[in-house]
Amino acid sequence: MDFLQQLEQTRFLAWVSGGNSIWGYPTILFLHTFGLATVAGVNAGIDLRVLGFAPKIPLAPMRRLFPLIWTAFAVTAVSGTILLLADATTKLANPVFYIKLVFIALALVNLQLIKTRVFGDPLVDTRPVTSIARFLSLTSLVLWMAATTAGRLMAYIGPVKGLE
């Protein structure tokens, strides 16, 4: 715990968490929110299309959205790491943080499965969408909503006593 407290008090992380600059915590939180909104939003668009919404829009060109998703995830991961380190002693003692990480990991695995199982088929637009593809898309929607909800709950559910 001493290491985490020392880390929180480094010049950069102290500036992020306690500085009065708009470029500190507010900007990093904005980047985290924007990145997550992009990841979850683009995923939701793909998922809804796979589930049958907007059937006239072809699926195959949506494959080009995966680099955008991964770039937005990188922004989310970097900004999230900074936010975590700026308040590590509190966040790492919060069980909801670990629940959030599990949902994110599962959502990323699911995303990769959608990419390979749905968009890996060169005839994706000429065949009906499989039940596995629909299941993966529904699962994706649930996992990203759960990860987002867990992230928001961290602000309201405090750390477990003894883990701090």
- Per domain, the residue ranges of the chain are 2-153
Residues 6+ positions from 11 with CB-CB distance below 8 Å? none
Residues 6+ positions from 66 with CB-CB distance below 8 Å? 115, 119
SS3 assignment, position 41: helix
Distance CA 52, CA 64 (A): 19
**pLDDT tens string for the chain (164 positions)?**
687 777 767 777 777 787 777 888 889 999 999 999 999 999 999 999 999 999 999 999 999 999 999 999 999 999 999 988 888 888 888 999 999 999 999 999 999 999 999 999 999 999 999 999 999 999 999 999 999 999 999 888 877 665 55
